[in-house]
Amino acid sequence: MAYIEPAPIKDKENPLESMMERFNIAAEKLGLSSEVYNVLKNPAKQVIVSLPITMDNGKIQVFEGIRVIHSNILGPAKGGIRFAPDVHLDEVRALAAWMTWKCAVVDIPYGGGKGGVRCNPREMSAGEIERLMRAYTLAMIDVFGPDKDIPAPDMGTGPREMAWLMDEYSKAHGMTVNAVVTGKPLVLGGSLGRTEATGRGVMVTALAAMQKLKINPFQATCAVQGFGNVGSWAAQLLEERGLRIVAISDISGAYHNKNGINIQDAIAYRDSNKGTLEGFKGAEILSDPMELLELDVDVLVPAAVEDVITIKNVDKIKAKLIVEGANGPTSAKADAIINEKGIMAVPDILANAGGVTVSYFEWVQNRLGYKWTAERVNRRSDRIMKDAFDHVYEASVKYDVPMRIAAYIVAIDKVAKTYTFRGGF
Ligand code: NAD
């Protein structure tokens, strides 16, 4: 039987479907030719490998590994590797496309890629994970490369896995090649400033948007959903710039204090409490954690999971500005209502691109063989994020579209123009 592509994701509230809906609107506004549309819609390369691993019990188990390069038009592909039990080709393809737009919107010289290995790292020993990571790297040895495709951590992987990837790739090439992967431990060439980079980009784009909306940060209130890497850094940096953070949340619940939550205290509490805010005394717990999204605040930062602002609750949102720290927190159907209500939404592909920007700096430093100070990293990433915000804002005025569609317009336009100059066969 002929190979049949897995069916596209049918659920309209799915964040990846949501992305395609916005891509289609932007492509139409831009007047993208159908030929270029088809080039950008289809991934450039898809590789599926089978990875037989000797488990600790001596038995061989076979895992599936995927790598998709959606586009290498702007430069080498860039994108994370997720280790998850339900990862599948369709999801990886969509996430790879997402990376293409994210890199293009912040104007860094990368295409988009994504990888996945179908496994459950929570049920595997460190040794099993290491063997799997090394086997995946070797199977992708001709796909990866500092000038071809540069992986990074994603769900279920982190600096430890990136170190193994770098080592395996380096051994196969007979030399140390640290620029093949980002998100490495500092000592292997990781970049200063990477940990806070995404939250920092949220802060920079939030302040830029507040300036356009004439919201004074020193009189503004803010609610942040999610208190992990992105949410807690965004909350801390926004607080430092004068905002009153009146609500934060994590998986344990949402915490509200109209006088403002001391974010340093909340971080210290979380870090001493197995990573959760459960029992935090600096605020009242809300009976329904989703109420956080409906609070009467100036700025709302969803920085937890996808698909939290939907047609079910968008009517109740009172914030004037939404800055999307998470990937895909707003469903496409909710967009129209957000626009009708006059709320500005700084979209994920812009607001959370500070992370990939500093990953790019890691690669630049590795290739230079030189380390930048945290101050230099922050200054340069702030500039990239502010410039990207300004470009998207200008496009939103020029095409008379919301910021989300404008971000896709900027990204698609850049990739399409580059493709046209480079030419095809
Ligand atoms: P994380 O695991 O460090 O933190 C996630 C936080 O969300 C935790 O506090 C968790 O308790 C909380 N959470 C989970 N489900 C929740 C729910 N239903 N309601 C409220 N809180 C909930 O993850 P992160 O790295 O901060 O990533 C958060 C989001 O940002 C994800 O969508 C991720 O894809 C996106 N993102 C992260 C980066 C990065 O550099 N870390 C870059 C780009 C995008």
Please confirm, yes or no, whether 320 is among the known catalytic residues. no
- Chain centre distance of CA 363: 17
DSSP E strands, 21-76:
45-54, 60-71
Over residues 257-313, the pLDDT tens digits come to: 999 999 999 999 999 999 999 999 999 999 999 999 999 999 999 999 989 999 999
Q: Which of 155, 305, 308, 350 to mutate to test the pocket of ligand 1 (most atoms within 8 A of CB)?
A: 305
The reported pLDDT for the residue numbered 142 is 98
Q: Cα–Cα distance between 229 and 248 in angstroms, integer?
A: 13
Q: Which of 98, 224, 229 to mutate to test the pocket of ligand 1 (most atoms within 8 A of CB)?
A: 229
Over residues 2-49, the pLDDT tens digits come to: 434 444 444 445 667 777 888 899 999 999 999 999 999 899 999 999
Structure letter (DSSP) for residue 125:
-
Q: Cα–Cα distance between 192 and 82 in angstroms, integer?
A: 23
pLDDT values of the chain reduced to their tens digit, one per residue, 425 residues = 343 444 444 444 566 777 788 889 999 999 999 999 999 989 999 999 999 999 999 999 999 999 999 999 999 999 999 999 999 998 899 899 999 999 999 999 999 999 999 999 999 999 999 999 999 999 999 999 999 999 999 999 999 999 999 999 999 999 999 999 999 999 999 999 999 999 999 999 999 999 999 999 999 999 999 999 999 999 999 999 999 999 999 999 999 999 999 999 999 999 999 999 999 999 999 999 999 999 999 999 999 998 999 999 999 999 999 999 999 999 989 999 999 999 999 999 999 999 999 999 999 999 999 999 999 999 999 999 999 999 999 999 999 999 999 999 999 999 999 999 998 88
- The residue nearest atom 21 of ligand 1, judged by CA position, is 250
- The residue nearest atom 8 of ligand 1, judged by CA position, is 228
Residue 420: how many CB atoms within 10 A of its CB? Answer: 14
Gap from CA of 17 to ligand 1 centroid (Å):
20
Over residues 215-235, the pLDDT tens digits come to: 999 999 999 999 999 999 999
- The residue nearest atom 3 of ligand 1, judged by CA position, is 228
- Chain centre distance of CA 54: 33
| Residues within 6 Å of ligand 1 by CB | 198, 225-231, 249-251, 289, 303-305, 325-327, 352, 355
**Angle at CA of residue 91, ends 148 and 9, nearest 5°:** 140
pTM score, whole prediction: 0.94
The reported pLDDT for the residue numbered 13 is 56
Asked whether 398 and 30 are in contact (CB, 8 A), the reply is no
Structure letter (DSSP) for residue 179:
G
Helix H, strand E, coil C: the string for 270-330 is: HHCCCCCCCCCCCCEECCCHHHHHHCCCCEEEECCCCCCECCCCHHHCCCCEEECCCCCCE
Q: Which of 194, 198, 357, 360 to mutate to test the pocket of ligand 1 (most atoms within 8 A of CB)?
A: 198
Backbone angles phi, psi at 70, to 5 degrees: -75, -45
Q: What is the pairing mode between strands 321-323 and 299-302? A: parallel
Q: Please identify which of the residues 29, 114, 320, 414 carries the catalytic annotation.
A: 114
- The residue nearest atom 28 of ligand 1, judged by CA position, is 304
- The residue nearest atom 15 of ligand 1, judged by CA position, is 251
Gap from CA of 348 to ligand 1 centroid (Å):
13
**Both structure tokens of 359:** 């990953």
Q: What is the pairing mode between strands 149-153 and 111-118? A: unpaired
The reported pLDDT for the residue numbered 14 is 67
Q: Which amino acid is at 255?
A: Y
- Chain centre distance of CA 266: 24
